Structure 1
């Protein structure tokens, strides 16, 4: 074959390869588009991203992942994107504004916070009880179950002031949509005096799915409401159900290539979840066994050695709790709606993975039941990430 013929053949092969790649990309995009949930209102871009503009966010393209905690590595990518786009996107304020409520619910304000912990699936192993009355499980290799129970028993005790940050947020008919502060007489998030833990249940009737869907997690939360006899909307007005999956499971793709997150929260009425509830709206958290991801989800983020093995469990769950009580039916509560850089973020998102010792950094929060690694959350009235705050009544 002449050199000219060889060149023509090479060009033909290259062109065919390019056409094949383009066809594959087109088919992939078409498949992705057809698999996405139908738009429920606003523009398709907003619906597809859940209001999130950062393409590295685990909530981007997954609008039900409200308050999603990114892995530490992904968080770095998110901040890198923010830094690169601030010139083109100058609105970078972290101030939160009120979303107007969904089904009349913006924040947890009707009464004291009620946290129900649901250990989901037989993989948790054999149940026991420790000296403090906490449930223990033979499948809980990192001993996270009693730790998270003690966390919620301890909130609102011993003068802990971490909970005070959230008490500045409010809802009710006197709070205008878009407000960035609360008017006199509004219903505020309450300080969890005496603890926030309302119940613990080991659902050993089923195995936890290997990759539970958002709907399966929502269905489990509704099932838990029935178990705890919270069978009307009034009883669930101030309740949240934490669905704790066992080790080696991947709820919503956690710890897989498509799940670079540590946890997220939502409520059953979100059309992207679609769980039917006869008990009113049900707020819930997808809480994976974050110790399976090691330092990516907070191991030793605050404390060294074995003392910090479960740092991520309390940091991440504290993150979701703080966001649920300030945005119970997302996004009817307090979120960032004015900044392109931080669009869609909630109070804990804006302070995620700030190193201890830095301004607004994570640290240990002391209560009568122990000391727990926690992150700061955003405070509108101080315009910064705060680990403590005076209680607002």
Structure 2
């Protein structure tokens, strides 16, 4: 495993978005290794606790973690932007989400499969938008350096807050734990080398899928600011790129690594297409029902390349 990868010695950081500088170090390390057969094709991990992908209509719950959100902890108005983004995904006929709909799970899908058999349930397309709920949890300040256990507990707290207190109600629920500016969840902005990651935790409410989404604009261009759009229009690019990256990976690998990932590298669909600036799979503005957002492409097994747009299956 690449020693520069954000998930090196941190195996819970599934689908971690490496900072652009970390990505460059990883690519240099891979280039220095003896050439070998490396494929980008994803294969099915067999499910964990019976869960592989979000094989129903996904629902995103945004959790703004800590009292700082209403007391100066959101200098870029990221909370409003993220609510708009997740309201927009799945609307206006956008086909960015189409790439994910080719992946599946269930008893018909063999572990190691690289395509889906007839009759297998696929990742759902959110035609009415993704956003199912918003919670500004101001019960206490977000920790300066939240641990993974604290992030997981906040996801469980959110499930309780939204009334999702059974395994069935959490089967297609995805919780984004968004930290305020100045916070360093799991070492963000210090030694972590990442912009976000996802995982799941077990609870009395069933398995809870969640993402650690730091205040990525604190790291500027390292986490995507102005990656697609110049000037003021691109200040929040990182939130939609990183947020979209983690969403795309949760729905295709909801309980890691029981969903779809690269058997050789461990990377997920968005990892394989991160920070592409030009050419096939380049990040771009994606038009949705309520506007356009900077998004990255994700890996498509059926076309064997990174796709920013794909037919909805």
Deviation at 1:81, TM superposition (A): 1.3
User: Normalising to structure 2: TM-score of the pair?
Assistant: 0.99
Native 8 Å contact 1:86 1:92 kept in 2: no
Equivalence map 1:19-58=2 (5 Å): 53-58=1-6
SS at match of 2:169: coil
Q: Does 1:152 align with 2:152?
A: no
Deviation track 1:198-223 (CA, whole Å, cap 9, x = no partner) reads 00000000110000000100000000
Paired residue for 1:102, among 36, 48, 51? 48
Which ranges in structure 2 are unaligned for 5 or more consecutive residues?
A: none
Q: Does 1:374 align with 2:288?
A: no
Paired residue for 1:161, among 87, 90, 95? 95
Native 8 Å contact 2:73 2:182 kept in 1: no
**Matched residue, 2:255:** 329
Deviation track 1:283-314 (CA, whole Å, cap 9, x = no partner) reads 00000000000000001000000000010011
Q: Does 1:69 align with 2:3?
A: no
SS at match of 2:168: coil
Q: Does 1:297 align with 2:219?
A: no
Paired residue for 1:115, among 56, 60, 64? 60
Equivalence map 1:179-194=2 (5 Å): 179-194=113-128
SS at match of 1:234: helix
Aligned Cα RMSD in Å? Answer: 0.8
Q: Does 1:243 align with 2:177?
A: yes
- Deviating runs (4+, > 2 A) in structure 1? none
Deviation track 1:214-250 (CA, whole Å, cap 9, x = no partner) reads 0100000000000000000000000110000000000
Paired residue for 2:152, among 218, 222, 230? 218
C-alpha distance in structure 1 between counterparts of 2:165 and 2:261, whole Å = 29
Paired residue for 1:264, among 197, 211, 234? 197
SS at match of 1:279: coil
**Matched residue, 2:188:** 254
Native 8 Å contact 2:188 2:195 kept in 1: yes
C-alpha distance in structure 2 between counterparts of 1:325 and 1:291, whole Å = 24
Q: Does 1:316 align with 2:242?
A: yes
C-alpha distance in structure 2 between counterparts of 1:172 and 1:66, whole Å = 21
Larger Rg: 1
Tell me the matched-pair count.
313
User: Normalising to structure 1: TM-score of the pair?
Assistant: 0.79
Deviation at 1:166, TM superposition (A): 0.1
Deviation at 1:91, TM superposition (A): 1.9
Deviation at 1:86, TM superposition (A): 4.4
C-alpha distance in structure 2 between counterparts of 1:143 and 1:358, whole Å = 31
C-alpha distance in structure 2 between counterparts of 1:375 and 1:286, whole Å = 18
C-alpha distance in structure 2 between counterparts of 1:263 and 1:307, whole Å = 22
